[in-house]
Amino acid sequence: MVSHIDDYSNYDALVVGAGFAGSVVARELAERANKKVLIIEQRSHIGGNAYDELDSSGVLIHAYGPHIFHTNSQRAYEYLSRFTAWRDYQHEVLADVHGTYTPVPFNLNSIELHFDEDKATALKDKLVSTFGADTKVPIIELRSQDDPLLSELADFVYQNVFLYYTQKQWGLAPEEVDPSVTARVPVLAGRDNRYFQDTYQGMPLDGYTKLFENMLDHPNIEVLTGCDAHEVLLFLAAGDTPPNAPFTKILAGGTPFEGEIIYTGPLDFLCAKRFGMLPYRSLDFVYKQLDEKHVLPCGTVNYTVSEDYTRITEYTWLTGQDLDHTTIMEEYPRAFADEPGQVPYYAILNDENRAHYERYLALFSELPTFHALGRLAEYRYFNMDQIVERALALADELCANELCTNEPCAK
Ligand code: FAD
Ligand code: UDP
């Protein structure tokens, strides 16, 4: 860690944000292209939203919401495995549906919990024969079916799993959110009770923060925490130009910076919100420490028909810590209003917001050394593994320019 930078021109690349996007690119540039990299992070710690820490009772909690690693990408998995061993953990989620703990994604086991035997058999047979065994069916697609049995099932799942939860999470009905959002949690024509079916699943054995410490432990990487990029970077357009004129010059610490800039924060904030703030959803977290080994039956319970919070996560299920006490966390969704301490966790996906975002992105179109990368900077809904893949892809591009191979190399 460094505490003060006198001369930014000592660095080949500046990375804004020490989450997965920034940290992976930093490591790759440092290692494969022998670039000297400075990471600028506004928070007091590395890890971005995946940051974890011990709470006062010794439970490893995730400070920005529960993070479970899952992927089908061998590259992302193997890459992260350089920096952590894994605890085998297969996440399960139960929805509290009027007091009945129900597997989510809603599956054949869930059907049996909510319908009498004859009806359950008919619904299961119809679901499997229509879509195929183990197929994942988005609720929007299930609702569009004409068949009376499938309509009955769709109505039940919509009312008892999706409607209230989605209203809480987004302030919108399920049909008003982008279909890709609810499709993340489909109806499953099978009996797998796990939340994810990916090939690789688990939790970093010593936590995410340790994973990041290992990733950033490289002689070419320095990290400046507690520093907002706005204090360092200035983007200038040529002459006396209108607000939508593209930037043509970057200053770092007051002097021109010619190296690569990888920016992983919100793009609208980088431009002083000149076209108005992009819409985001935020969350408030409420932690409770309890003198019981476990209070939930699994890692997460979703409250799909009751309560103001969407879900409760019990961290000791995720970490496997064997304690006689536990810590749970409730999630309360909020509209993001840029209040002190509020975090813009989720982009709100729709055409209007995308167009709004593109206006910001266009401001950087004439700066080939500027790269917007990550969940905030790209205004997308990416999981951790997708971010790792995108960061590796960008690093491939940048390292190719340096005539490097996939192996560590000297410039
Ligand atoms: P971030 O982790 O947000 O990192 C960006 C960093 O940039 C932050 O540290 C921020 O402080 C810093 N920054 C921003 N602006 C500035 C600035 N101006 N100056 C300096 N620094 C700045 N994914 C999964 O795969 N599995 C899960 O179970 C999962 N659960 C999630 C639960 C919640 C509640 C949320 C919100 C997300 C979850 N995700 C999950 C998604 C995961 O958090 C993201 O994919 C991942 O963290 C994105 O990494 P990133 O580097 O793009 O962004
Ligand atoms: N969802 C729901 N009920 C559930 C679980 C999910 O309605 O029990 C919907 C909701 O709209 C949510 C989306 O599916 O925002 C995606 O859920 P996911 O668990 O992937 O959300 P995340 O973990 O990213 O917050």
Q: Can the peptide bond before residue 333 be classed as cis, meaning omega within 30 degrees of 0?
A: no
C-alpha span between 160 and 97 (Å, rounded): 6
C-alpha span between 335 and 377 (Å, rounded): 19
82, pLDDT greater than 70: yes
Looking at residues 20-26, what average pLDDT do you find? Answer: 99
With a 6 Å cutoff on the Cβ, whether 315 touches ligand 1 is no
C-alpha span between 255 and 242 (Å, rounded): 23
What is the CA angle 270-276-279, rounded to 5?
90
44, pLDDT greater than 90: yes
Per residue in 344-370, pLDDT (tens digit) is 999 999 999 999 999 999 999 999 999
Please provide residue 40's backbone torsions phi and psi, each rounded to the nearest 5 degrees. -110, 120
Read off the pTM.
Answer: 0.97
- Confidence at residue 409, expressed as pLDDT on a 0 to 100 scale: 39
Nearest ligand to residue 39 Cα? 1
C-alpha span between 171 and 337 (Å, rounded): 14
For the CA of 162, the nearest atom of ligand 2: 7
- Confidence at residue 238, expressed as pLDDT on a 0 to 100 scale: 84
With a 6 Å cutoff on the Cβ, whether 278 touches ligand 1 is no
Q: Are 17 and 265 in contact (CB under 8 A)?
A: yes
C-alpha span between 174 and 195 (Å, rounded): 19
Let me know how long the chain is. 411
188, pLDDT greater than 50: yes
Looking at residues 106-132, what average pLDDT do you find? Answer: 98
378-410 burial, b at 16+ Cβ within 10 Å, e below that, comes to bbbebbbbbbbbbbbebbeebbeeeebeeeeee
381, pLDDT greater than 90: yes
Residues linked to residue 224 through DSSP beta bridges, in sequence order: 2, 40
233-237 sheet: strands from edge to edge: 233-237, 247-252, 255-256
Nearest ligand to residue 303 Cα? 2
C-alpha span between 232 and 255 (Å, rounded): 10
Task: State which of 141, 157, 169, 187 you would mutate to test the pocket of ligand 2, scoring each by most atoms of that ligand within 8 A of its C-beta.
Answer: 169
Give how far the C-alpha of residue 278 lies from the chain's centroid of Cα atoms, to the nearest Å.
18
For the CA of 346, the nearest atom of ligand 1: 36
Mean pLDDT of the chain: 96
Give distance in angstroms: CA of 182 to centre of ligand 2.
6
Picking from 379, 409, 395, the residue whose alpha carbon sits closest to that of residue 24 is: 395
105, pLDDT greater than 70: yes
Q: Are 14 and 262 in contact (CB under 8 A)?
A: yes
403, pLDDT greater than 60: no
Nearest ligand to residue 172 Cα? 2
For residue 19, give every residue at least 6 positions away whose Cβ sits within 8 Å of its Cβ, in sequence order, or none. 47, 48, 49, 50, 264, 374, 375, 387
Tokens of 299: 């890692």
Per residue in 266-320, pLDDT (tens digit) is 999 999 999 999 999 999 999 999 999 999 999 999 999 999 999 999 999 999 9
Give distance in angstroms: CA of 16 to centre of ligand 1.
12
Tokens of 223: 């990290």
129, pLDDT greater than 60: yes
pLDDT band with cut points at 50, 70 and 90 for residue 394: very high
C-alpha span between 313 and 298 (Å, rounded): 8
Give how far the C-alpha of residue 298 lies from the chain's centroid of Cα atoms, to the nearest Å.
21
- Confidence at residue 401, expressed as pLDDT on a 0 to 100 scale: 76
Give distance in angstroms: CA of 386 to centre of ligand 1.
12
Give distance in angstroms: CA of 222 to centre of ligand 2.
37
408, pLDDT greater than 80: no
Q: Are 305 and 164 in contact (CB under 8 A)?
A: yes
- Confidence at residue 411, expressed as pLDDT on a 0 to 100 scale: 33
